[in-house]
Amino acid sequence: MTGRTKSFRRAYCVFLLAGTGLGLTVPTAAAFAQEQAGAPDAASSGGLEEIVVTAQKREQNLQETPIAVSAISADKVEQLGIQESRDLSGLAPNVTIMQPTTNNTAAVISIRGIPTPADENFGLDTSNALYVDGVYMARSAATSFEVLDISRVEVLRGPQGTLFGRNTTGGAISFITRDPSDSFHLTAQGGYGNYNAWNGKLILDPGDFHGLRTSFAYSHSQRDGVFDNITQPDDSKDPGARKSDSARFALMLPLGDTGSIRYAFDWTRIAGHVSPFQLTNVADGTPRAPILGVNAVQQAPVQQYLAGVTFTDPRCAALAAPRRAYRHDLCQNTDGLTTDKIWGHTLRVENEFGDVKIKLTTGWRMWRNRIRGTDLDGLGEFSGPMFSNATLFNGMPASLLSFIPTLNPPLAPAGTAAFIASQPVPRTTQGLFDTSNNRKQDQVSQEVEVSGRSDQLDWVVGGFYFWEEGSEQNLQNSGFVLDTNQVFLGNFGALGPAFAAANPARYRLVVTRSLLTYRSVSESTALYGQATFYPGGRAGPFNITVGGRYTWDNKQMTRTQNGAAPLPTPERGEASFSKFTWNIMAGYRAAEGINLYARAATGYRSGGFNARDDSIVGTTKLPSFKPESVTSYEIGAKTELFDRHVRLNVAAYYNNFSNLAVTVPVARATPGTFGTIVTNAGKVRYAGIEVEGQAVLNDNFSIDGSFGYVNVDYKQFLVPTSGAVGAPLVNIGSIVHPGYTSPYTANIAANAQFPIGGGDTKVRARVGYTYESAKYSFSHIITTPFNEQLKSDPRNLIDAQLGIEGLPIGGGTGEVKLWVKNLTNSHDFVRAVDFGQLGYGGGIYGDPRTYGVTFGMKF
């Protein structure tokens, strides 16, 4: 254990003891019970219910909160089957969440045009934060797992640099779970669907026991694959198959009537096979001219090579033809099993001392990921010619080889040339690209908040500490197609054409097994404060909020291998960053039910290291990149009209982004190869609008929906013209596209409910439509030549639910629900990978139509 780790452990213990001590300073009284009150039903109450959020570290009416935030209630969470972050895609304006390529818990979250990095190495932080009960989840590769017992979800759009801190330049998603009840409750659910999908969930609240309240939850789900890998006879191992188990235990001890101690433990294990990569484009090796004066990546002639290979399974030959079309049947040459384990502890201690409240939140989380092998070419296994320097002349005529001095006496034994001429070109049996991984991450966070309120002031001050350690062992097995005629023509002078004409295997596969191994440690500390002033008192129409936060970050990385062999000397990097972020908001109640606001805020995404960057020339030092920063300006209106039967919220924003961390092309000295580095190169402007609405039409019908638009304008995107040291920089902003961003998002849903019988039984139905316009997966065609061809399809998804709830069963109630996702069975190309110099690209299609039935009971 390192000295840094030991000191951290001591600090962590001190925080725990301090938090517990604070909670116990108030004498306990009789058991304090506060039942979790469900929101009143909108239709039955005649209007829209009030929504309470905690986006500003205190409870507020959503309509009076001067920021853009979407709130999803427990009722809607249950109705839509929301379990994890990916289920939120499209439900809030300008928010999309893309599925993973190699492991089941990864997600690319994009808010207002700013995505989290698709590269999941530990040196790159996210730009959109995920929180569960106030605990920050640091890794984008571990941000989509089942959250049990959800009370509500808040989606905050725009920089949250003051109260939520770093790495929220786009926004934040916050899951809030339910507190244990003081009375007995039991909820049981089970269901079955197509693709042999079945699930079960159990939530138990035993009730109050000498002032102590607890809750227990367990969930299991599994399904067979939704695609058919024809080389795999077991449907449970096909792409899209997964098996998930989640458990949660929560404990709450009230401290008189002024506070509580709350502890929660959660655990999730997901084993499955991710959606398959499908080949859509291959290159023929045609040379590419410079673009805007920048050397373009040169692609390998994959098309010609694949034309001559032999597939291990003959059925894969037809499926290997590259095309942009959905395929249910496909070939994979690796098992593709990925296993994720995520677990953690959360301790929250809060107490009120008159008008002052103190709250401590401690989080300790762990993630383990093992990927046994992911096929990222979609071809299956084939056999084809393999390249090595030692076998370059195999199969060439002896008459030609006689002109090579090193193959003839006196430099070589007699008969060497004849022997080499008799040898065949070696072959390899594999695919073009597969990868495996072994990752682990541990993090601990501690936050202290002190808040208070008076007739004219709300205020909060706090401190935040975060520590993280991560490691990765990423093995990549790739094949680069080499046109060996170019070797002969470029190096053998007058003999070159003759060798090219006699070449027994012009196109050969250079097989590379590369291992990336490193360890990363990061530490962050912050102090913050925010105050809201009500000049005319809380009943007055005006309020103004001012806040600020100062953050100190330290990053360290040690790399021991970045290629075929371990490094003789480990490469290291250490960098420190600091940033002050601020927030100013003004609110005005123009009339009853009409609130206007204006906001200016800044955000900060920490700098760091790209684990795949080359070390600084001549040293063993790893290069770092600087932090990103954003300044955002926003105006909005939140309205409730027609006696709270209509809610309409609108916002318009303009973001000024600087020091954008981007992938920059770098040409290598070796012909036909190419690389990238991460550097700060960009200045970007984001402008957009957002609309959210709900309307209760009558006691039986309501509608809700949203619309978002974002325009991303790259003012500056600097790249070097070549890989040479000191090469001039060129602004290629005119050809750059935002990655993983839908310019347009929309959703609309119709809801209906009808009472049946004489009790609380009712029929509920919902039909929802979600639209996400097409996305680019990469920035420009210099490094990713197929970027235009690999643009995703626009998504047009229809989901529906129909159920009966409130059925009397013994001393409780029952429910049955029919559901369907992707009703029209839309086959959408949703995420792409362009392998640049390797000469091919493809991607992933979304799930086909799924449907099922769920039964439930509540006591």
Condensed to tens digits (0 to 9), the pLDDT of residues 335-377 reads 789 999 999 999 999 999 999 999 999 999 999 999 998 999 9
Mean pLDDT of 746-773: 94
Residue 65 contacts residue 55 (beta carbons within 8 Å)? yes
303 phi, psi to nearest 5 deg = -55, -45
Alpha-carbon gap, residue 471 to 388, rounded angstroms: 33
Please write the tens of the pLDDT for every residue from 648-697: 999 999 999 998 877 654 544 444 334 456 777 789 999 999 999 999 99
pLDDT tens digits for range 777-809: 988 999 899 999 999 999 999 999 999 999 999
Find the helix or strand (DSSP H, E) in which 80 lies.
Answer: helix 74-80
Cα distance between residue 636 and residue 651, in whole Å: 4
Distance CA 292, CA 722 (A): 12
| pLDDT for the residue 849 | 97
pLDDT digits (tens, 9 = 90+) for 406-436: 888 888 888 899 999 999 999 999 999 999 9
Q: What pLDDT does residue 676 have?
A: 57
Asked if the bond preceding 159 is cis, omega within 30° of 0, the reply is: no
Residue whose pair of structure tokens reads 């694959």 in the numeric block: 225
CB distance 440 to 469 below 8 Å? no
Q: Please list the residues that pair with 574 across neighbouring strands.
A: 556
Per-position DSSP letters for 193-248, written without gaps between them: ETTTEEEEEEEEE---BTTBEEEEEEEEEEE--SSEETT---GGGSTT-EEEEEEE
> Among positive and negative, which fits the CA dihedral 829, 833, 837, 840?
negative
- Which of 176, 152, 177, 145 lies closest to 250 in space, CA to CA? 177
Amino acid at position 717, single letter: F
Percentage of the chain surpassing pLDDT 90? Answer: 78
Q: How far apart are CA 297 and CA 781, in angstroms?
A: 9
Q: How far apart are CA 754 and CA 761, in angstroms?
A: 9
Which positions ≥6 away from 143 have C-beta within 8 Å? 85, 105, 106, 107, 109, 116, 126, 130, 137
Rg of the chain on CA atoms, in Å: 30
What string of DSSP letters covers 83-102? -SGGGGTTTSTTEEEEPPSS
**Overall average pLDDT of the 613-631 stretch:** 92
pLDDT of the residue at 340: 96
State how far the Cα of 723 lies from the Cα of 312, in Å rounded to an integer: 40
Extended beta strands in 592-733, E state: 594-605, 628-641, 646-667, 674-696, 701-720, 729-731
* 24 pLDDT above the threshold of 80: no
pLDDT at 663: 64
| pLDDT tier for residue 260 given thresholds of 50, 70 and 90 | very high
Query: How far apart are the C-alpha atoms of 580 and 629, rounded to whole Å?
Result: 10
Please, which residues bridge with residue 139 across strands?
none
CA torsion through residues 561, 567, 572, 573, sign: negative
Reading across the β-sheet that carries 135-137, which strands appear in turn? 68-73, 150-157, 171-177, 128-132, 135-137
Residue 6 predicted with pLDDT over 70: no
Q: What is the DSSP letter of 758?
A: S
Cα–Cα distance measured from residue 776 to residue 76, given in angstroms and rounded to the nearest whole number: 31
Q: Residue 475 phi/psi, 5° resolution? A: -100, 130
Q: Are 74 and 132 in contact (CB under 8 A)?
A: no
| Structure token digits, residue 210 | 């000498």
Sign of the torsion formed by the C-alpha atoms of 400, 405, 407 and 413: positive
Question: In Å, how far are 63, 252, 528, 534 from 544, measured between CA atoms?
Answer: 16, 35, 17, 7
What is the average pLDDT across 474-483? 94
pLDDT digits (tens, 9 = 90+) for 543-573: 999 999 999 999 999 999 998 899 999 999 9
pLDDT tens string 710-724: 999 999 998 888 877
Average model confidence (pLDDT) for the chain?
90
Nearest to 489 by CA among 498, 478, 502: 498
Share of the chain above pLDDT 70, in %: 93
Joined together, the tokens standing for residue 178 give: 């339910």
| Structure-token match 């053998």, residue found | 492
As a whole number of Å, the end-to-end CA separation of the chain is 49
- List all residues 6 or more positions away from 818 whose beta carbon is below 8 Å from its beta carbon: 801, 802, 803, 851, 852, 853
CA–CA separation, 458 vs 210, rounded Å? 35
Residue 15 pLDDT more than 70? Answer: no
Mean pLDDT throughout 388-395?
94
Name which of 263, 260, 262 is nearest 358 in CA terms.
260
* Structure-token pair, residue 640: 């409730």
Band of residue 31 on the pLDDT scale cut at 50, 70, 90: very low
Task: Give, in order, the Cα–Cα distances in Å from 342 to each of 18, 137, 272, 364.
Answer: 27, 11, 15, 11
DSSP 15: H
Q: Pick from 384, 391, 393, 386: which is nearest to 488 by CA?
A: 393
389 by DSSP, 3-state: which? helix
Structure tokens at 341: 């384990």
Predicted confidence at residue 447, as pLDDT, reads: 97
Q: Tell me the C-alpha distance between 253 and 64, whole Å.
A: 31
What span, in angstroms and rounded, lies between the C-alpha atoms of 120 and 730? 28
Banded model confidence at residue 726, pLDDT cuts 50, 70, 90: confident
**Cis peptide, bond prior to residue 410, ω within 30 of zero:** yes
pLDDT band at residue 11, thresholds of 50, 70 and 90? Answer: very low
Residue-wise pLDDT tens digits, 451-473: 999 999 999 999 999 999 999 99
Q: What confidence score (pLDDT) does residue 409 get?
A: 87
**CA pseudo-torsion sign 160, 163, 166, 167:** negative
Evaluate if residue 111 carries a pLDDT over 60.
Answer: yes
**DSSP at 608:** B
**For the segment 278-291, what is each residue's pLDDT rounded down to a tens digit?**
999 999 999 999 99
Over range 137-159, report the average pLDDT.
93
- Its sign, for the CA torsion 357, 249, 60, 88, is positive
pLDDT at position 373: 87
CA dihedral for 40, 41, 47, 52, sign (positive or negative): positive
